[in-house]
Every structure is written in structure tokens, then in C-alpha cells.
Amino acid sequence: MNKNDRTSTGFYIRPIELLIMITASIFASGALADLILSVSPSFTVQTFALLDAILLTVILFPAIYYLAYEPLKLYIEELKRTEETLQGSEAKYRSLVETTDDSIYLVNRKCEYLFMNAKHLSRLHLLFDQEYVGRAYSDFHSPDETTVFSEKVNKVFETGESLQHEHRSQRDGHYFLRTLSPIKGPNKEVVAVSVVSKDISVLPRLQGRDIF
């Protein structure tokens, strides 16, 4: 564990600290054994070695248990609870994504599909078991639609900010409000763009303007 890996007890221990603790325990047990030997010089070498081992165990075991084993056990338990919570949240999110009436999908910088929810698969007339990952947006849309979409995706990659715009589908003539949002990696760089496309055919037109 590192310094940021604190448990609910507030304890953490680094490898160097554990090494220092073990070294100090060995030194302390040896010093106590020498002290006892100086008081009772009649001890044999075997008795002295046994006494030294007992003192080392008495000193070292509680230190390792309370400063290393117990915090590590609590840390592992917290990791398990966190993992269970994340799995539950992921399941709820996936259920929401798959049951919504909005098209939701992810694309990379080349406008290649990384993910589609059930609604978007249905709009593109794809089956659930059909391979779509890596297929280009242009495989399913006209050149004009692809050009507009690519411009929006590039803008999100360049600015790292979300945007919304109205889009009229040439597939069925419906109007959609598309929200494009950046998906950022560990270094805060944009690695993909998520798209939520909501059918707004019954709402007043926004005339293709960007909202953000």
C-alpha cells in the first residue's frame, strides 16, 4: 500500500516502515535478552537463544498484527465493498442506458462506433449480436450527415467540452437533439465522445443551432 491507501482505521504502513519496525523489534528483543543474561549469567547458549526467540515473537507479532495485518485486512474488505458498489452502479447504469428511448452511443476520433445501446441498434436496423464495434459512422449515414457529425465530434475532441445541436435524420425525417460529451482518460485527454440523441420531432425547431 502507499501513503494514500488509508483504511477506515486511519492506519497505513509502507514497506520501508515495516522494515524499520521489524529491525527495531529484532534489536529490542536482542537488547532485552542481553539484559536478562547480564542479570542471570547462568543461562546456557540454548536457553539464551530460546529466550531471544520468545522475546522477538512477543514484541514482533503484536506490532505486525496491529500495524500491518489488521489495516491490510480492513483495506481489502473496503476494496471488496467498493467493487460491489461499483458493480451495482454499473448494472443500474447499463439497465438505464439499455431501456431508455434515446439513442446512446460512443465514437472515437475517427467516428468509429465503440458502443451502441439497444435503441440505436434498432434505429440502424442492426441485431444485438451483429458486430458494430469499429464500423464507421459513414457506414450507416449519408456523406452530408457524416460531414456534419464529424465536425461536431472533432470540436469536442479539440475543446474537451460538451455541445448540443439539432439534427434532422435523413433516415426517417425525424428531428433529434444530440448531446455530444467528452470521455476523458487518466491524463484528462479526450479519448472518446458519447452521444445522446433525443427525438424532439414534436418540439419547436432549434434550426440546427449549437446550444453549448
* Stretch among 36-45, 108-117, 158-167, 202-211 having the lowest mean pLDDT: 202-211
| 149 vs 128: CA distance, rounded Å | 24
Question: How many domains, the chain?
Answer: 2
Same domain, 88 and 105: no
Residue 24: CB atoms within 10 A of its CB come to 13
Range of the domain at 123: 100-199
pLDDT digit string (tens) for 172-185?
888 999 999 999 98
Is the same domain home to 92 and 121? no
pLDDT at 211 > cutoff 60: no
Nearby residues of 194 by Cβ (< 8 Å), 6 or more positions away = 104, 105, 106, 180, 181, 182, 183
Pick the more confident residue, 118 or 32.
Answer: 118
Q: What angle do CA 56, 62, 65 make, to 5 degrees?
A: 120
User: Does residue 128 sit in the same domain as residue 188?
Assistant: yes
If asked whether residues 70 and 107 sit together in one domain, one would say no
The verdict on residue 206 lying in a domain is no
What's 181's domain CATH number?
3.30.450.20
Residue 121 and residue 44 share a domain: no
Q: Let me know whether 23 and 69 are in one domain.
A: yes
φ/ψ (deg, to 5) at 200: -120, 30
User: Tens digits of per-residue pLDDT, 154-169?
Assistant: 999 999 999 999 988 8
Of 96, 112, 133, which closes a domain?
96
> Which pLDDT score, from 0 to 100, does residue 178 have?
93
For residues 11 and 64, is the Cβ–Cβ distance under 8 A?
Answer: no
